[in-house]
Homo-oligomer: A and B are copies of this chain.
Amino acid sequence: MQVALVQIDDYGPWTTTPAPRRETDLQSLQASLFADFAEFVGEYDGYAFYGRFDNMYAVANRPDPTAFARFQRLVRNQYPVTVSVAVGRGETPAAAMGVASDRLQEAGSAQNGQRTEVLAIGDTDGSRPATGPLTIAHFDVVDVTSSLTDRENAIDVTRTIRRAALELETHLRDRHDCLTHFVGGDNVIAVCPMVSADTFQAAIDHVRAETGLELQVGVGHDRTAHAAGEEAKYALETCRATGDRIRGAETLPAED
């Protein structure tokens, strides 16, 4: 599995130099940068996550790691900031991101004004595509509209869903080395290594126990995040139609 970690170079200092910049401009800048990143990654059939905005992720098996130099160029030519990118591969999303994180850290501090536009891909042999396939689990909250959105104070709805997402993320990270991320609305996507079907039931049970929220999940498995994710989306549609809580996991290959 191949992941990329994008980090805005020396961003913290930039946001306050020569004086603190207007917050709404920073929000707009960060969101625009992520919008462009999502498009870029999408062209390679990967998935992009906004992370902390100044540190964004991609799960993208397809591109040669050097392709991210194109994103660096795009940012340099269209934004007031530059980005460094590290690429890592591993058996699990967390392991791959660990490699990427290490590479970026070795290249210099996030607030080292001299470290700009690093492309830290180690000795990754781009001509050998990342080993796949990967599993995408696309979760959402059962009946979120009627039980939350149409009923509660919006800030509490957000908080409730964020807590569920965080519990899910923590559970799947600690047990299975997944990369799990909230993606808007009531949707949470987990990028998983080879896991068994009952992983998802346990995750749903955990979130229900911790937060009272009932999740459902569609699971897909393919060579790219997009292809696996599309399968997962269709499986989730089936959950919505049938009332099943998990669909798609039955087709996962058996673990070793």
Contacts and interface: CB of A to CB of B under 8 A. Distances in A.
Interface in A44-82: 46-48, 50-55, 57, 70, 73-74, 76-80
A29 interface: yes
Interface stretch (A34-42, A118-126, A246-254): A34-42
Contact of A79 (B23, B38, B78): B78
Interface string A217-256: 0000000001001100110010000000000000000000
A163 interface: yes
A48 B77 contact: no
Interface of A: 5, 7, 11-12, 15-16, 20-32, 34-36, 38-39, 41-43, 46-48, 50-55, 57, 70, 73-74, 76-80, 93-94, 97-98, 100-101, 104-105, 109-111, 145-146, 149-159, 161-163, 166, 169-170, 173, 179, 183-186, 189, 226, 229-230, 233-234, 237
